[in-house]
Structure 1
């Protein structure tokens, strides 16, 4: 379920200290009911199980088109990512976050972990069009439990980046996010059953 911006901005997340120049694009409640210590399980799901849209042809097609365009137009070439075109957010971290756990990496993706706390995990990605942040938070669900919350923050790279973000917005809302949330929920439930059986 999509949430208002205040669901992210009103919380005392550490990301606010380091990403004030990023625009908050989206905030979503994740279908991941759990207990107070389950952020690590959610991060593990994102980094090891991934969100592959295995049962969702529309997002698979949209991502295939995006990666093909990126290849043809040079959006994703070396020199356009974190540490080359843009400095990593790790360079902005206060000492306690820099010295704390970074969080796991997901092999085979362009996302890089920035930091991990008890209730936040941040990863970043950059290409020729933008510098983006995926923020996973772990929040009370209002019914005595907890759930995940995902925010996407972006800093477009000039007019090209602004045009790119505007162009993909309807595809994100109609094709990508609904399928992604379903896949996250299915994987969460499946992993929960395996944990209970084990």
Structure 2
């Protein structure tokens, strides 16, 4: 579910310290039934597992196939255009103790790179010729005492070209990508998170 940007800025997360030159593009919430305060690492692991086993709808697979094909043809995603090339990694801005929290022990095949992971928030990043994007996820207690995952997409477009690109893909994000992501992430908790949260270190009564 899409929620106001203030739902992200109001939280005391560390990400705010390092992304003042990024803009908040989208903020969404994802349900996590029966989750407890210590279940964030379990949720993150579930998301990575679900991505590696995902079966996206045909429309989503088609959109990403087109995007990666265009990127290959136009040189959008070359190493020179990405992290360590056109843009510096966000990890370069972090103090060493925070940078060391990046959880590479649970690999994921998505195109994002780890930035950091704490007990209630984590960040991953992607850089290319169009934008530098930060995907931030955080664990939030709701008004009824439950917990939900919140995702914020923070972006720094690459000049006019990047701004036009973001404007062009906006309808596809809202109509196709984010609805599919919502279903996938909420299913990830139910299938890979909730049944295994004790093994992940959380110990909450049923």
- TM over 0.5, yes or no? yes
User: Does 1:63 find its partner at 2:57?
Assistant: no
Q: 1:25 — aligned with what?
A: 25
Question: How far 1:192 moved relative to its partner?
Answer: 4.6
Q: 1:85 — aligned with what?
A: 86
Question: How far 1:138 moved relative to its partner?
Answer: 0.3
Question: How far 1:102 moved relative to its partner?
Answer: 1.1
2: CA distance between counterparts of 1:161 and 1:51? 28
Deviations 1:165-189 (A, max 9, x none): 0000000000000011011112211
CA RMSD of aligned residues (A): 2.0
Q: Is the contact between residue 70 and residue 76 of structure 1 (CA under 8 Å) also seen in structure 2? A: yes
Question: How far 1:95 moved relative to its partner?
Answer: 4.2
Deviations 1:139-171 (A, max 9, x none): 002211211110000000111111100000000
Deviates more, 1:40-49 or 1:139-148: 40-49
2: CA distance between counterparts of 1:153 and 1:133? 5
Structure 1 residue runs of 5 or longer lacking an equivalent are none
In structure 2, the CA distance between the partners of 1:5 and 1:94, relative to structure 1 (3 Å rule), is same
Q: 1:103 — aligned with what?
A: 103
Listed as ranges, the matches of 1:31-180 within 5 Å are 31-33=31-33, 34-50=35-51, 54-98=55-99, 100-104=100-104, 106-180=107-181
2: CA distance between counterparts of 1:189 and 1:45? 9
Q: Is the contact between residue 42 and residue 193 of structure 2 (CA under 8 Å) also seen in structure 1? A: no
Q: 2:203 — aligned with what?
A: none
With the length of structure 1 as denominator, give the TM-score of the two structures: 0.92
Deviations 1:19-45 (A, max 9, x none): 000010000011223110111012112
Q: Is the contact between residue 46 and residue 193 of structure 2 (CA under 8 Å) also seen in structure 1? A: no
Structure 2 residue runs of 5 or longer lacking an equivalent are 200-206
In structure 2, the CA distance between the partners of 1:178 and 1:51, relative to structure 1 (3 Å rule), is farther
1: CA distance between counterparts of 2:55 and 2:21? 34
Deviates more, 1:38-47 or 1:19-28: 38-47
Deviations 1:13-72 (A, max 9, x none): 100000000010000011223110111012112223317651511111111111111111
Deviates more, 1:133-142 or 1:45-54: 45-54
